[in-house]
Structures are given as structure tokens and as C-alpha cells.
Amino acid sequence: MANLSMRIVAAGCACGLWGILVSAGGQGPTNAAAGDPVGVPAAAYAAAAPVWAVPGLAGAGEDAASGSRAAAATTSVAERRQGGDTCELATVIAGLPYHVTGTTVDYTHDYDAVCPHNAPGSPDVVYAYAPPADVSVDISLCHPGTTYDTKLYVYKNLCQGTPLACNDDACPGYVSQIMGLTLLAGDVYFIVVDGYGGQAGEYELTIIGTPPAPACPEDALFSQPAARPVDSWFAVKSEVSTGQLRYESYDIGAGQTVGALRVWGLRVHQNPSWQSCSEDPVPFLVKFYPDVSGLPGGEVCSYAVSAYGFGTGLVFNTFPLYRYDIELGSPCEQSSGWVSVQGAGDPDCWFLWMSSPTGDGKSLVNTGSGPTVANYDLSLCVSTGTGEGVCPGDLNCDGQIDFEDINPFVLHLSNYAAWQAEFPNCNALNGDINGDGTYGPASFEDINPFVALFAGLPPIPCP
């Protein structure tokens, strides 16, 4: 395989789909001493609850630069921006709120969904949105510019199978809308404007977004999601460079194994004032311990892993909250006890673990002299994970490394969300070929090690 080479192209790339959604509100952390924990009472924060704004849309809320309040816009002028004929040709939504008009007349019938009526045959058009932060959206055709019997549905990453959400007749006149749909950063969503039983016509589409409350995955066996800015909250250092280690307790039921975690946190540094910083992916040290009289016993599982931070749209004292989905690679058979999650990367960019408003009111901190009690819970979701072990190079998860893995590897690099959708049971660490703990978008240092695997004359069975 000495002549094997690879040209990486952005096949199916969601490039250009990223918009900007920001929040402003609250004051920066102030603590003249250690500055830890960072937090404000719910009542104090409620007076400065964020108003959501989109840059460039006058009157939409709070001006992030000046901090001045403007009256919330109740109307906007619809732009004539026609939806694309298929998902591959979808019209890109750059940001929210979004307000357009268009037509399905003379377009083709490409998609259909039963919600609940089975009446196919109408032409359809498609819009695509990749949220830069988790967002809850209201998608509506219920406006004067919609002139026919519509259907409306949303696909996640791929336009096939059962839609994520679907509606036929939410409004008078047989017009459609989908309310309160949560979209997650890192995924691409296709919004299909369709009709009932062959009908077509003019439509007026709006999409309004607000940040959703943090939530654990549906398959989580232990759920303790992060606080919101309106809650009483703490964001506390759990970072190698600061010498602080945090623990949270969990219980997923006897006989279960841990394969994945979700935690939330801030990325900040204090020197001497609080400042935002950026590191993505973040290297983490994750360790599991049994419970011994309310304290961690001896370490039973240990992992050095990296995870990308996905914006949540929530802002705490001017600092954005990130969601980290951590795949462990191999399961830990500790079904209950304690878990520690500690940032282990840039010493000038700290991981501050966000608290949770639910739990037993207790977590632990170790600054070098042993664990002591902290009277708040830390955000934590515990799942069994993908169920797949790690086999670096097996990007289609067929149990071996061969030439069928080349296209999935390219997709893993160029459009990680689409790879996840196509291979939902694959372990993300299969893309970490060089073993540095990073994978996914732009992990180009894995290319040469991936090519080198083919010198072993595939197929190579996974262990």
C-alpha cells in the first residue's frame, strides 16, 4: 500500500451553516479572593435575566455591546428567500430569528411524512439550519402569507426515515407549525415545507429561537442537568493546573456499566480578573470510585479523553455555558459511587464545572488534603454509551478495518454530525487513530496514521 494516498474533501460538509446567537445580561464574576465558586442567588439574577438578541436585528432585545435594553420586536419584514428543492440544495439559515416567504409551486415532490394524515403528492422545499448553540425553536407557517393546506416537518442530519418533528393542521385554515422543538449544537436540521394531498402555493415561514433548559440524553440512567442562569448556581474549578478536583455521586442501578457522561461547564481564567478563554476539544481526566461511608474509595476506572464543547446558548455572568459529551471508549463496571471530572489541558484555560439544581445537595472537592463536602450538586448525566468498544480505524463499525472505512473516515473529519447520524452505534474514539484523545472535526493529524493502517493488508479484524 505504499502508493495509497488520500485527498480529504468536505463531502456533505455543513460549512457555512453556522449562525450566531448571543445573550447578554448579568455581571462578571467578582470575588477578590480565590473567585471560587462563582455564583449569584436566583433572586439577584432574576433582575438581570437575559434578553435574547441576534446581531443585526434592530429592536430584538438587549444590545450586547452597550447593555442597553430595547423594546422586544413583535413584527419583522419577511425576506423573499426561496427554499431549496431538496435537502442537498437546501437554503441555508444563517441565524435566528428567521422570517421568509416563498412558494412550492413548480417544485418537485421529494419528501413526505404522515403527521397524522397520509396524503402525499405535494411539492416541497427545504431549509437547513445548524445551530451554533442548543436552542428551542418555534417553527410556524401560520401567517397571512401562507395560502394553501400545508405540512411541516424537520429531519435531523439526514432526510430519511421518521422526522424528528411533524405537523399538519396546528392552525386554522389547515396550516402547520411546530412549537418548542429542541435543536442541539453539532447537528444539522432540515426544515421541509410541504403540502397536503398534492396542494402547493405561497408560504410565509418564521423560526424563533430561545435557549432550552439543559437536559440529559434520553438514554441517561442518571440525570442531574445543569442549572440555568435564573437558578441559584455555582461554577467551580476542577482543573489539574489549579490543583482542584471535584467529585459527584451517581447510581445507575445494579449490573449497569458506564459508557458515557454529559457535563456542563464554563471556560475561564482569572488573572486577576475573570476572562473567557477557548480550548476545543478539552482534555479531561475522568475517574470512578466506589462509595465508602460517603467518600470516594479506591479508584476503579480511569480515562484520559477529550470532548468538544457545544454551546448551550445560556450565559452566566457574561460567560457562555458549554455542554460536553464524554465517550469513555471502554465501559466502567462501577454502577454507583463517585465520579471525578477534571480539566487537564491549557493551564491558562480552566474548566469550571457547573452546578445542578437537582440532587442530594452534596458534592466533594479535593485541594490536596483529601475530599471535603461542598453543599451543592454538580451537573452530571450518566449513560451506558454506544455499546461499542474502541477500534481505531473502524469508522463504519463492521468489526474490521478495510477500504470500506475510507469514506466514513472522510465524513468523520468533514461532517462529524452526519457521521454520527449514519453510524449511531459507532464509538467516536474510533476516529482517534493516533491516540491523542481527539477526534472529529479537523482532526487532520489522524490522516497519516489512518493511511498507515492499510500497510497491514486489510481487512484487519478489530480486537
Same domain, 145 and 280: no
- If asked whether residues 104 and 229 sit together in one domain, one would say no
Question: What local confidence, expressed as pLDDT, does residue 463 receive?
Answer: 67
Assess whether 278 and 321 both reside in one domain. Answer: yes
Query: What is the separation of C-alpha 245 from the centre of its chain, rounded to a whole number of angstroms?
Result: 25
User: DSSP class of residue 445?
Assistant: G
Say whether both 219 and 356 belong to one domain: yes
Mean pLDDT of the chain: 80
Backbone angles phi, psi at 327, to 5 degrees: -90, 130
DSSP-assigned letters across all residues of 201-251: -EEEEEEEEEPPPP---TT-SEEEPPPPTTS---EEE-BGGGTBEEEEEEE
pLDDT at res. 332:
95
Residues 201 and 334 grouped into a single domain: no
Instruction: State yes or no: pLDDT of 6 exceeds 50.
Output: no
- Of 384 and 77, more confident: 384
Kindly state whether residue 44 falls inside one of the protein's structural domains: no
Q: What share of the chain is helix, strand, coil (3-state, %, to 5)?
A: 10, 35, 55
Question: Is 316:229 a contact under the CB 8 Å cutoff?
Answer: yes
Is 178 inside any structural domain? yes
- Encode 343-359: b = buried (16+ Cβ within 10 Å), e = exposed: bbbbeebbbbbbbbbeb
Using the structure block, give the residue that is written with the C-alpha cell 490543583: 243
- Residues 205 and 220 both lie in one domain: no
Point out the domain boundary residue: 383, 412, 428: 383
Domain final residue pick, 210, 225, 246: 210
Q: What mean pLDDT is predicted for residues 51-76?
A: 25
What is the average per-residue pLDDT within 54-66?
A: 21
Degrees to nearest 5, angle at CA 342 with 339 and 347:
175
Are 417 and 378 members of one domain? no
Of the segments 17-26, 46-55, 60-69, which one has the largest average pLDDT value?
46-55
Output Rg (C-alpha) for the chain, integer angstroms: 24
Provide the residue range defining the domain that includes 274: 215-383
- The fraction of the chain above a pLDDT of 70, given in percent, is 80
Task: Confirm whether pTM is higher than 0.85.
Answer: no
Flag whether 268 is in a domain.
yes
**pLDDT at residue number 437:** 67
Whether residue 158 sits in one domain with residue 279: no
Residue 77's pLDDT band (cuts 50, 70, 90): low
Number of domains in the chain: 3
* 269, 224: one domain: yes
| 377 domain residue, yes or no | yes
Pairing of strands 125-129, 91-92: parallel
Residues 139 and 231 reside in one and the same domain: no
Give Dmax over CA atoms of the chain in angstroms. Answer: 72
Question: CA nearest 204: which of 130, 122, 140?
Answer: 140
Residue 172 β-bridge partners:
none
Closest CA to 244 of 341, 325, 378: 341
Q: Is residue 393 part of a domain?
A: no
Answer yes or no: is 3 within a domain: no
Q: For the segment 116-138, what is each residue's pLDDT rounded down to a tens digit?
A: 888 899 999 999 999 988 999 99
Given 356, 383, 410, the domain boundary residue is 383
**Which H helix or E strand runs over 323?**
strand 319-332
Question: Mean pLDDT across the stretch 76-105?
Answer: 88
Is residue 41 in a domain? no
32 pLDDT tier (thresholds 50, 70, 90):
very low
CATH number for position 107:
2.60.120.380
Q: How many CB atoms lie within 10 A of CB 10?
A: 12
pLDDT, position 360: 96
Say what the pLDDT of residue 451 is. 86
107 & 248 share domain: no
pLDDT at 150 over 70: yes
| Tens digit of each residue's pLDDT (9 = 90 or more) over 376-427 | 999 999 998 754 567 888 888 888 888 888 988 888 888 877 787 788 767 7
Q: Specify whether 351 is located in the same domain as 405.
A: no
Rounded to 10 degrees, the C-alpha dihedral 91/58/29/271 comes to 70
User: Is there a domain that residue 249 lies in?
Assistant: yes
